[in-house]
Chains A and B, each alone.
Chain A
Amino acid sequence: MDTRRRVPLLFAFILTVILLTGSSYAIPPFSRQYGTSCTTCHVDFPKLNDFGKAFKDAGFKFPKGDEDFIKVPPIMLGAPAQKELWPHTVFPGTIPGLPPIGLRFNQFFQVTSGNANNYNLASQSTGPYVPRTDFEPGLFSIFMAGNFGSDIAFWVDDDLSVSGSNAGGGLGDAYLRFVNVGHYFKLPTDALTVKVGQFELDLPFTQARSINISPYDIYTEMNIGTSNQNVNNQFAMQDAAQGIEFSGGHQYGGYHYSLAVVNQNTSGGAAATPNNVSSPAGFFSDSNYKDIYGRFSYRFNLEKDPASRHEVQAAGASGPRDHTYLSLGTFFFKGRSVQRFSETSGDTTNLLTAREPFYRVGGDFSFNYRTFNLFGLYMYGHDNGLLLNEGATGFGTGPPAKFNGGFLEADYLALPWLMAIMRYDHVQSSGDFLNQNFLNPTGGNYYSPVGSTRDRFTPGVQFLIHANIKASFEYQLRPKQALTYDENGKAVNPFRTNTATGALEFVY
């Protein structure tokens, strides 16, 4: 790969890293509606505290006596007494008294290590083609959330512009959530809630609303097979999905489950092999087949006082605080990715489509003590790898494409406005290595791994200038990479291209 291609690649990568975290939000509409600070629900926005989790679970409402806290009365779309006339009238609901709109803007400044110019040296070019420092505009986003009464919550967010480009963004989450519908079936309170629309999967630790500048590597990992596999699965766990989700329990204590049925993710579809063609446009999914995602977790609140243990927040000696807890969970995603072969035989071209099964499975934990939170996740990915049979009339089983990895993160809120972060990301994928380095005669891409395993350490610190303004800094100690490999496949002069990134964002 020559330098002219590498430089845009570098920027594309960095921009991707930055913008993949672009859907993180705190919710000013709720501040306005309830007359309360961001810190009522957030530790370090957008990370939720226990009360914020309960508020979300309840359908963006206070868990008890919500109407006592609303400072801007909602507009009634029918008198409450109309309920008695139903089904002979429209069931009365409400809309928020103020337009429930929040806006967010962020921007970045980054410093890339001089190693990035190793690529220039390799191609005999002169001059630094990769700038060491760079200002980056980020996102300008709009988001709306609230409750329509009758325990129907809503959320819509959209990036109006990305990286200084108008309309460069897109729809994030957009859904209606019918909270506690289980009571119609005599189920325990909050045992069943239904969400319909486009949404982030119920990941153990959200990517869309993460406090980190760079995303979790395992969430962005797509499974791209090597040349002897027919695997070009563009699905990543962080992707928004369209479908329906059933969930129940609470995020602040006890059990929690979710089960989602979502479209096949056929976005992308760029050819991984010459015979692989992209999927047709016009539908989010070109298949009746639906993917399934499930998650179950249990959180053990560890307060000594049993009364406090079952409350939304623990009763600390100096005020309410998050519980000391241990949460354990597991998740599973089962889907099919679209793989196509265009096979020419004489004058005839056959287009064969394989619905290639794949799954992702993993486990997670989170331990919290006061303002210290240690959490981690491990995930294993497996794609079947269907190959054309001998007659090119169908598919048979080929070598599967696999990867695994996860992350471990420690967040410590040293002061109410100061968060220290240490993170470790790990991904192991022989496909990534073979595709981009050893078997690639022109050398590897930027930031491609020097081996099957790549690790990243990311210390960070964040400052709340105000409850709605944040300065974040992150130093990414990237995995080793190399330009050339010897005849044994060993990397020659491997190096790291680390990046320091600062972000400034505000919501209002």
Chain B
Amino acid sequence: MKSTFMMVLAVVAMMSLAASAGTISGKVSGVNGESVVYVEAVAGKTFPAPTAKPVIDQKGLMFQPHLVVVQQGTTVEFLNSDTVAHNVFWPSVGGNKKLTHNMGTWPKGEKRAFKFDNPGAVALLCNVHPEMTGYVVVSPTPYFATTDKSGEYKIENVPDGSYTVTAWHEGAKNQSKPVAVAGDSKADFTLSK
């Protein structure tokens, strides 16, 4: 009897959760290639940092993958698979030049880690191979997505409520707009360089 009651309680809880979590979807146009759309910080809410550590490799004088999106507080590992020396640095985080950081030099096969505690786009550079570039986009919330080739995106499991949603694309100006989430919501962006 007790177990039956618990099951009913769980089903009710799941149904109520499903009812209060929606999606944000739409299209980012005006630019070609992968864009990032994320929900800006929600006042009064914090989100636990993920424990997974994405890896960005330096291989063939390129950052691979070119773009990584992480939640604020995530630790990213930087690997050097090249036989030449590299370094990784960024001139700013989200345009804040005070957050510039240089991770130094390390040889082939080794990794160095960095925890991204501040939200915003981070342009990864190498000071001896100036053509090398990659991006870490640090989302302040766990609600983010990257677009597909056609510019479509979908952010799932967003609790109902009012948010500010931002679209980012390499080399383009960010665009933010308010979105009220109640079930499935739509938000389209048109970015320009």
Interface residues of A (CB under 8 A from B): 34-37, 39-40, 51, 62-65, 68-69, 71, 307, 311-313, 315-321, 467
Contact A320 B130 (CB under 8 A): no
Which one of B85, B105, B130 contacts A39 once the chains associate, using CB atoms below 8 Å?
A: B130
Q: How far apart are the CA atoms of A36 and B61 in the complex, in Å?
A: 8
With A316-B105, A319-B102 in contact, do A64 and B128 touch (Cβ < 8 Å)? no
**Contact indicator A320/B61 (Cβ below 8 Å):** no
Cα of A352 to Cα of B89 in the assembled complex, Å:
70
B126 neighbours in A (Cβ, 8 Å): 319
B178 within 8 A of A: no
Task: Evaluate contact between B102 and A37: CB separation under 8 angstroms.
Answer: no
Complex contact B60–A313 (CB within 8 A): no
| B102–A318 touching, CB < 8 Å | yes
Q: Is the CB of A40 within 8 A of B104?
A: no
Q: Which chain B residues have a beta carbon within 8 Å of chain A's beta carbons?
A: 59-61, 82-87, 89, 102, 104-107, 126-131
A-B contact pairs, 9 of them (CB 8 A): A35-B61, A40-B128, A51-B84, A65-B82, A68-B83, A69-B60, A313-B85, A318-B102, A319-B89
What distance in Å separates the Cβ of B17 from its nearest Cβ neighbour in chain A?
48
Task: Name the contact of B87 in the complex, choosing from A35, A68, A69, A319 (C-beta under 8 A).
Answer: A319
Q: Is the CB of A315 within 8 A of B106?
A: yes
In the complex, are the beta carbons of B60 and A40 less than 8 A apart? Answer: no
Q: Given contacts A34-B61, A316-B105, A320-B105, are A65 and B83 in contact (CB under 8 A)? A: yes
CB atoms of A51 and B60 under 8 A apart: no
* B85 adjacent to A315 (CB under 8 Å): yes
Please list the 7 inter-chain residue pairs (A to B) with the smallest Cβ-Cβ separation, ordered nearest first: A319-B87, A64-B83, A320-B85, A315-B105, A319-B127, A65-B83, A318-B102
Q: How far is the CB of A252 from the nearest CB of chain B, in Å?
A: 13
Q: Which residues of A contact B84 (CB under 8 A)?
A: 51, 62, 64, 69, 312-313, 320
If A51-B84, A311-B85, A313-B128 are given as contacts, then 9 extra A-B residue pairs at C-beta distance below 8 Å, sorted by A number, are A36-B129, A37-B129, A39-B130, A63-B83, A65-B83, A68-B59, A315-B104, A320-B105, A320-B127
Q: Which residues of A contact B127 (CB under 8 A)?
A: 318-320
Residue of A nearest to B105 (CB): A315
Q: Contacts A34-B61, A69-B60, A315-B106 known; A320 to B82 CB distance under 8 Å?
A: no
Residues of A within 8 A of B86 (CB): 319-320
- Could you say which residues of chain B place their CB within 8 Å of the CB of A36? 61, 129, 131
**CB of B103, distance to nearest CB on chain A (Å):** 9
CA distance A467 to B131 in the complex (A): 11
Complex interface: chain B residues within 8 A of A51 (CB)? 84, 128
Q: A62-B84, A68-B82, A315-B106 are in contact. Are A320 and B60 (CB under 8 A)?
A: no
CB closest chain-A residue, reference B62:
A35
CA–CA, A340 and B172, complex, Å: 73
Distance between A60 CB and nearest chain B CB, rounded to angstroms:
15
Residues of B within 8 A of A318 (CB): 87, 89, 102, 104, 127
Closest to A318 in B: B102
On chain A, the residues within 8 Å of B105 by CB distance are 315-317, 319-320
Contacts of A69 in B (CB 8 A): 60-61, 82, 84
Question: Closest CB-CB distance, B109 to chain A, in whole Å?
Answer: 12
A317 to B102, CA, bound (A): 8
Q: Within the assembled complex, what's the spacing in Å between the Cα atoms of A467 and B128?
A: 12
Nearest residue in B to A308 (C-beta to C-beta)?
B105
Residue from the set A40, A307, A313 with the largest chain B CB neighbour count within 10 Å: A40
Q: Which residue of B lies closest to A315 (CB)?
A: B105
Bound form: Cα–Cα A35–B129 in Å: 10
For the complex formed, measure the closest distance between the CB of B128 and the CB atoms of chain A, giving whole angstroms. 5
What's the minimum C-beta distance from A253 to chain B, rounded to whole angstroms? 14
In angstroms, Cα B85 to Cα A315, docked, is 8
Question: Across the interface, which residues of A come within 8 angstroms of B107, CB to CB?
Answer: 307, 311, 315
CA distance A136 to B171 in the complex (A): 40
- A64 to B83: give the CA distance in the assembly, Å: 6
Q: Which residues of A contact B131 (CB under 8 A)?
A: 35-37
When chains A and B are docked, how far (Å) is the Cα of A63 from the Cα of B82?
12
What is the CA–CA distance of A321 and B105 in the complex, to the nearest angstrom?
Answer: 10
* Cα–Cα distance between A73 and B67 once the two chains are bound (Å): 25
Min Cβ gap B158→A in Å is 40
* Chain B residue at minimum C-beta to C-beta distance from A70: B60
Residues of B within 8 A of A40 (CB): 61, 128-129
Closest to A55 in B: B84
- In the bound complex, how far is the Cα of B128 from the Cα of A39, in angstroms? 7
User: Taking the nearest CB of chain B, how far is it from the CB of A101, in angstroms?
Assistant: 20
A65–B82 Cα gap in the complex (Å)? Answer: 8
